[in-house]
Structure 1
Amino acid sequence: MSAAGHTLAWRPEITGTHDQTRGGDGMRFLHTADWQLGMTRHFLNDEAQPRYSAARRDVVAAMGPIAKEVGAEFVVVAGDVFEDNHLAPRVISQSLEAMRRIEVPVYLLPGNHDPLDAGSVYTSALFTEERPDNVVVLDRAGVHEVRPGLEIVAAPWRSKAPTTDLVGDVLAGLTDDGVTRIVVGHGGVDVFQADRDKPSFIRLAAVEDALARGAVHYVALGDKHSRTKVGDSGRVWYSGAPEVTNYDHVESDPGHVLVVDVDESDPARRVEVEARRVGTWRFVSLCRTVDTSRDVTDLDLNLDLLTDKDRTVVQVGLNGSLTVTDKAALDACLDKYVRRFAALSLWDSQTDIVVLPADGEFDDLGIGGFAAAAVDELVATAKTDGEESDDARAALALLLRLVDRGAA
């Protein structure tokens, strides 16, 4: 049986080294998902975005050496291969070239970002023309034969709003007939959702029933960008995105590909899953209290200790009360690290800093006359709760920075 209408003309030879790695009766493959090639992040600057896009392609190509090392027969990508169906031609061509470098069959499942609708990237002339021989689109729901005795059961998305449990649909009717089956699906599992009754959610009970009756043996899922085990069987996993896509308070464990072993000599098809880290970027969320100059210094030290700054994105939530002098020092600290990190920004929903001039804070500026009177007026305004207080505090902070530059 052909896979999604394509018959692969070759399979990688299983060498003695591979057999030693996985055992002569074992089958091994890589489970990944949510590549979302072509993704942009609005908080990255013009210089960082191209590097981030390249990293997302590089992590795909990096699966080739892993597949070779562990003796994987193939790779399954459980949905959202592309960010959407409307991509620049360069993105499609470069993505396909990265997949070519994997050198074993790569099975792509259309997901909610790149469904098999009328404008699907998978049916575009460019994709069809440049698709490498090792890349197979799972564009048909149901069973796809990989080789005799081994099948992929695919549940592709055909729209962004399916009205049924696509995985449950393809599981119905499957029986234990001695064939090893790997399910590839995409979407939310009902046990993780507040509204469990949504028709498109994957019903874990149906999945576990198919596993229990021996009709399928591993369920490779995509949609959650953090590596996540589903249920207690050890056979249902979200691989997570291989490269980070959101901050660590949202994605707790991205950056992996799963190496899945299935013991085909065991009637129960014993499964082992190992995570390999492949991601190289980090999106970090920090929350700090800043009430004194020492707190600002500590924040500076904490930011400085973060490694790989050119591949690290930071959002900082800051709370506290600062003098105008300390607020100016905080602004200078943040400005410095904006230049050093791939991106750094304030976490607006977690930031609340009150700035109040301290008594005598502007007494030693060495100015007099009209200028001194203007400063006194700004200080008085800054201590109020009126609409002009923020402008007054900003003006005082700018004054301090200008005085510091003059002294330098």
Structure 2
Amino acid sequence: MATCKIIHTADWQLGKPFGRFPAEVSAALSEARLDAIDRLSAVASDQGASHVVVAGDVFDNVDPGDRIVMQALSRMDRANVTWWLMPGNHDHARPGGLWSRVRRVAPARVRVVDTPEAVELESNAWLLPAPLEHRKTASDPTAAMVDMPTPPGAIRIGLAHGSITEFGAAGESANLIPPDRAKSAGLDYLALGDWHGYLTVGDRTAYSGTPETDRFGRDEPGSCISVEVRQGDVPTLERVDTGRYRWFSRRWEVSGVEDLRRKVEDLRSDARLSDVLLSLKLSGVANLAERVAISSELDDKVAHELRHLDVDTSGLVARPRPEDVARIDVQGALAAAAVSLQARAEAGGPDAGVAAAALERLYVEVMRRGAEVVA
């Protein structure tokens, strides 16, 4: 029985700008996507695979810039593996465009598959690509695979970029692929891109996910798939982690700074904090001093340990105790304001949240001024 070992990957999106983040964070995330090529090389070596097939969106757009292109190609050239690069919706093929330029400068071990024609991977194994010529197309990009000729008894590996039909309602999604394409086209394996997480569809079709996670909502690290394809038999798939950065979304209920510290320690057991981007929503009820201590812990410590922190503390309610207000050692108008704000915060009316926030701000400023006087 003919067999072929490949590494299936997709959605590198090299050159992605990550513009919502500070410059040092976006630069680190962009560089990590290039570093993922080196990790994929290592996976191929460890798994004994001679080919890495990239199911679209190698680049984030059709003009990623010369540095990104040359960095990617030079890294691929260092690996003892053949790379098969196919255009996706972000980097779709067009005459005289990105892929013509890549082909001109690519080393021999990098192959561009930008036409829907079967190409020989190795003896008895053929790749059937479905490159995208537009960002969105209403037609099924894999339809041509049904009639792509390959020698009798050869392994047939499809390579495509798009959404399985069930993922979206007909007419609302583009680049739709039927879930039974592997069967209808006689494929031994269909390697897909576009979905940024690992997902299998039946026993012969899978999404590899991106090698570097790029959004909140996916706690798992970036990955690829090591695939042993066997002619006429079900392929063997092994998901392999490749990602450096982890994008965690968490909702924590806390009542004091010690609660927060325990949850941070739990997070530390999941990943190295310097490689974590955290989207955090806090909830709970804390006295005013603890509310301020929690904010200080996040701003002065946790945010600096993490690669990046997005935090929403609007769900953490401050319930000031009499002793909290007593510590606001002010007189005259400020004293009256503190009492009024406390009453409004405790009343729970429509402006209770604003009153609590204002009281907290007053508390912080008084404590800060007191610390400066002592110093």
Q: Name 1:181's counterpart in structure 2.
A: 156
Q: Name 1:93's counterpart in structure 2.
A: 70
Whole-angstrom distance in 2 between the partners of 1:89 and 1:175:
36
Task: Report 1:73-84 matches (<5 A).
Answer: 73-84=50-61
Whole-angstrom distance in 1 between the partners of 2:137 and 2:239:
30
Verify the 8 A CA contact 1:382 1:393 in the aligned structure 2: no
Task: Report 1:5-404 matches (<5 A).
Answer: 26-117=3-94, 120-124=97-101, 127-172=102-147, 177-195=152-170, 198=173, 200-210=175-185, 215-231=186-202, 234-247=203-216, 250-264=217-231, 268-292=232-256, 294-302=258-266, 305=269, 307-335=271-299, 336-346=301-311, 352-368=315-331, 372-380=335-343, 382-383=345-346, 385-386=350-351, 389=355, 390-403=357-370
Which deviates more, 51-60 or 318-327? 318-327
Verify the 8 A CA contact 1:106 1:136 in the aligned structure 2: yes
Whole-angstrom distance in 1 between the partners of 2:48 and 2:257:
56
C-alpha deviations, 1:166-187, integer Å up to 9, x for none?
0123224658831211100011
C-alpha deviations, 1:345-389, integer Å up to 9, x for none?
1258xx523334333322134554565445434444555643962
C-alpha change, 1:173 and 1:151, in structure 2 (3 Å) is closer
Which deviates more, 216-225 or 359-368? 359-368
Verify the 8 A CA contact 2:188 2:204 in the aligned structure 1: yes
Shift of residue 297 of structure 1?
4.5
Whole-angstrom distance in 1 between the partners of 2:96 and 2:152:
38
**Paired residue secondary structure (1:81):** coil
**Paired residue secondary structure (1:204):** coil
C-alpha deviations, 1:243-280, integer Å up to 9, x for none?
11122xx325442221111235xxx2442112222212
**Paired residue secondary structure (1:61):** helix
Which deviates more, 318-327 or 288-297? 288-297
Whole-angstrom distance in 2 between the partners of 1:88 and 1:319:
44
User: What is the identity percentage for the equivalent residue pairs of Structure 1 and Structure 2?
Assistant: 26
Shift of residue 205 of structure 1?
2.6
C-alpha change, 1:100 and 1:173, in structure 2 (3 Å) is closer
Shift of residue 403 of structure 1?
3.8
Shift of residue 208 of structure 1?
2.6
Whole-angstrom distance in 1 between the partners of 2:219 and 2:266:
20
Shift of residue 190 of structure 1?
1.2
C-alpha deviations, 1:181-222, integer Å up to 9, x for none?
110001110133344875631011333333xxxx32110001
Verify the 8 A CA contact 1:314 1:343 in the aligned structure 2: yes
Whole-angstrom distance in 1 between the partners of 2:315 and 2:82:
52
Shift of residue 40 of structure 1?
2.8
Whole-angstrom distance in 2 between the partners of 1:182 and 1:337:
47
State the TM-score, normalized to the length of structure 1: 0.81
C-alpha change, 1:218 and 1:209, in structure 2 (3 Å) is same
Whole-angstrom distance in 2 between the partners of 1:244 and 1:286:
16
C-alpha change, 1:378 and 1:251, in structure 2 (3 Å) is closer
Unaligned runs of 5+ in 1: 1-23
Verify the 8 A CA contact 1:310 1:340 in the aligned structure 2: yes
Kindly provide the amino acid, as one letter, of the partner of residue 35 in structure 2: D
Whole-angstrom distance in 1 between the partners of 2:172 and 2:184:
19
Whole-angstrom distance in 1 between the partners of 2:169 and 2:81:
39
Whole-angstrom distance in 1 between the partners of 2:174 and 2:243:
33
Whole-angstrom distance in 1 between the partners of 2:258 and 2:87:
52
C-alpha change, 1:401 and 1:202, in structure 2 (3 Å) is farther
Whole-angstrom distance in 1 between the partners of 2:296 and 2:218:
30
Whole-angstrom distance in 2 between the partners of 1:330 and 1:187:
44
C-alpha change, 1:199 and 1:175, in structure 2 (3 Å) is farther
Q: Name 1:10's counterpart in structure 2.
A: none
Verify the 8 A CA contact 1:240 1:254 in the aligned structure 2: no
**Paired residue secondary structure (1:319):** strand
Whole-angstrom distance in 2 between the partners of 1:321 and 1:95:
50
Unaligned runs of 5+ in 2: none
Q: RMSD of aligned C-alpha atoms?
A: 2.9
Whole-angstrom distance in 2 between the partners of 1:347 and 1:78:
37
C-alpha change, 1:172 and 1:347, in structure 2 (3 Å) is farther
Whole-angstrom distance in 2 between the partners of 1:144 and 1:131:
18
